[in-house]
Amino acid sequence: MSEVSRLRKFVSPEIIFGSGARKAVANYAMSFGARKVLIVSDPGVQQAGWVQEIEALLAEQDIPSICFTDVSPNPRVEQVMRGADIYREQGCNVIVAIGGGSPMDCAKGIGIVSTHGCSILAFEGVDRIENPIPPLIFIPTTAGTSADVSQFAIISNPQEQFKFSIVSKSVVPDVALIDPDTTRTMDPFLTACTGVDALVHAIEAFVSTGSGPLTDMHALDAIRLINTHLALLVEQPEDGHLREQVMLGSMKAGLAFSNAILGAVHAMSHSLGGYLDLPHGLCNAMLLEHVIDFNYTSATDRFRVVAEAMGIDPRGLSQSQIKRRLMQHVIALKREVGLHQTLASQGVQLTDIPQLSQNALRDPCILTNPRKSNRRDVEAVYEEAL
């Protein structure tokens, strides 16, 4: 390997982690010279009371704000465009997002459109953003998507039933206020979906062809933290320590995948979510063991380390035994947190698979998958997951 191809860059926001981190929002808004803040969220987070708290914290420091909460679980092109109109009409100059991946991705899109003045569709792909975007202060309320630390924004195009990725260090937020207290309002299903999403981020980042020492340490830590604490948290949602450990795992998984990129689970999951409007974490969960099965021979040493991080002792086992143990462990963990769905149970039909596979192969995440995949490979994995 040449010296140049071994170079790795690592991007990350300024991170404040811990109970009460959200309360620093007004100080950061002031330091960015906020005249007026656009708060981006969704109806569920608003109902849980977090939006009002952020409005109040800003108001205490005399910072005016306006809310945009018309964001669906897979944020759509027209929602981004509407949010950008409000941002401009209201004379905002800072964006605060509070919520899961959907409001955060939508906020990134609003930031892009507000300084470029054209459709968000123009930015699909890698490094297409030319102008600096407004300061982004992100407060995640789920422990999973890690949009608060990543250089990804995933937007849904319902016209084409397709989710597209925008990858650029311009969309890494300026500040992530990562506060485990905000995840108290998640129900068990959302806790499970977002937790498994974070686990997939960590596994895919570790076996990615873009991995390196800076991402490996975060990925392995994340696998250990989530493997140890997620099922307990679903059982004991009141436990603050478990909540903090899963949030920390999610953050580390985010730092890993933002820089190492992902793989076939995410490429296929984005395609599924765009086509059938399903929860992203659930899509990942339904595909995970099938993609491990497909990829295993192309990254046996790496998967062995993943198995060890999940508490499997690989000594004396053959490669195929390690693979089987790892797949069984993943399935057992999903069952423990209540995720046993299959693609067929969510309405996927055999006739959908060619279109799903075509879209998955367009996704940038497929480029760093350890095993090169063609359309027939991807179709076979979807068929296995039915």
CATH no. for 186-385: 1.20.1090.10
Triad 56, 110, 218: Cα angle to 5°? 80
Q: What is the per-residue DSSP string for 96-133?
A: EEEESHHHHHHHHHHHHHHHH-S-GGGG-EES---SPP
Task: Quickly count: other Cβ atoms within 10 Å of residue 351's Cβ.
Answer: 7
Pairing of strands 65-68, 37-40: parallel
Query: pLDDT of 110-149, one tens digit each?
Result: 999 999 999 999 999 999 999 999 999 999 999 999 999 9
Q: Work out the number of other CB atoms within 10 angstroms of the CB of residue 321.
A: 12
pLDDT digits 0-9 by tens, 227-265:
999 999 999 999 999 999 999 999 999 999 999 999 999
User: Is the separation of the CB atoms in 40 and 71 below 8 Å?
Assistant: yes
pLDDT at 1 over 70: no
Average pLDDT value for residue range 296-317? 98
Average pLDDT over residues 349-356: 97
Residue 196 burial by CB count (10 A; 0-12/13-18/19+): exposed, middle or buried? buried
Q: What percent of the chain has pLDDT over 90?
A: 96
| Overall average pLDDT of the 33-48 stretch | 97
CATH 1.20.1090.10 positions along the chain are: 186-385
What does CATH list as the number for 4-183?
A: 3.40.50.1970
Mean pLDDT of 297-310: 98
How much is the pLDDT for 141?
97
Q: Where in the chain does DSSP place strands (E)?
A: 14-17, 37-40, 65-68, 94-99, 125-126, 136-140, 152-157, 162-167, 175-178
Residues 166, 152 contacting (CB under 8 angstroms):
yes
User: Residue 8: is its pLDDT beyond 90?
Assistant: no
**Higher-scoring residue by pLDDT: 8, 128:** 128
Mean of pLDDT values over 267-283: 94
Determine the pLDDT at residue 6.
73
Residues 349 and 186: beta-carbon distance below 8 Å: no
Residue 3 pLDDT > 50, yes or no?
Answer: no
Strands (E), 128-251: 136-140, 152-157, 162-167, 175-178
| Alpha-carbon gap, residue 314 to 297, rounded angstroms | 16
- Helix or strand or coil: residue 38? strand
